[in-house]
Amino acid sequence: MGKQQGGTTVGDEEQGQGLDPGALLTPREVARMFRVDPKTVSRWAIAGRISAIRTPGGHRRFRESEVRMLLEKPSERTGDQSDRSAA
């Protein structure tokens, strides 16, 4: 819908359209995919649940391919909650 030349539109970028597997996502973009707060994504990176790349300015970026793999696998948090309720 937006102009193809000169970059992608914001809507296209947020939905991950046209991004290659090596593309990097911001914490906000990852948070929208998981429906969590961007600070939660940063906490996951600190805890080692998702790997992050640091930009020269110190900001975190996440590999789109890794994020998509995490979205496709069953949630570990759901398993933890069901284990507690079963005990």
φ, ψ at 61 (rounded to 5°): -135, 150
The domain segmentation of the chain, as residue ranges, is 15-74
The verdict on domain 15-74 having CATH code 1.10.1660.10 is yes
Considering only residues 86 and 72, tell me which one the structure prediction assigns the higher pLDDT.
72
pLDDT of residue 41: 96
Q: Is the pTM above the cut of 0.85?
A: no
Q: Three-state SS for 42? A: helix
Considering only residues 74 and 5, tell me which one the structure prediction assigns the higher pLDDT.
74
Instruction: Kindly report the three-state secondary structure assignment for every residue of 63-76.
Output: EHHHHHHHHHCCCH
For residues 47-68, give the mean pLDDT.
95
| Distance of alpha carbon 4 from alpha carbon 21, whole angstroms | 20
For residues 1-28, give the mean pLDDT.
55
pLDDT of residue 73: 83
Of 12, 16, 23, 19, give the one whose Cα is nearest residue 66.
Answer: 23
pLDDT of residue 74: 72
Considering only residues 24 and 7, tell me which one the structure prediction assigns the higher pLDDT.
24
Alpha carbon of residue 70 to chain centroid? 9
